[in-house]
Amino acid sequence: MYSFETKIRVRYGETDQMSFVYYGVYAQYYEVGRVELLRSLGVTYKELEEMGFALPVVNMNITYKKPAFYDDHLTIKTTIKEFPSAKITFHYEIFNEKGDLLNVGEVVLVFVNKETGKPCFAPEIVMNKLKEKLG
């Protein structure tokens, strides 16, 4: 299991008329979390794309527990619990500054060969970087 925490501040445009973070914004927060987790491993989305891989989202689940508000400072905890295969699953927990758990989620992405458009196994660089962190 490998986890990484990212901080983000809620911007005004991310809130709705009730002053809550709009529910759809959490997909963007989750993206920030997984991009930064991969960067913490030493691999970037850009590098994966340059190596011929795409990572489309195939499933996303979110359970909302409490709202976040404008100017809240949030912590996005992103975790990979199992080694990827042709898919990679990211687990999320978002906390406010008080440490309250605001929501939990899971996003599943599939590694796709950009040339063929077909699913493929996770690239060696991702597997090796995870093994280094978990080893």
Please identify every residue annotated as catalytic. Answer: 16
Q: In what side-by-side order are the strands of the sheet with 87-95?
A: 2-9, 73-80, 87-95, 101-110, 57-64
The DSSP call for residue 24 is T
Contact 62/105 with Cβ under 8 angstroms?
Answer: yes
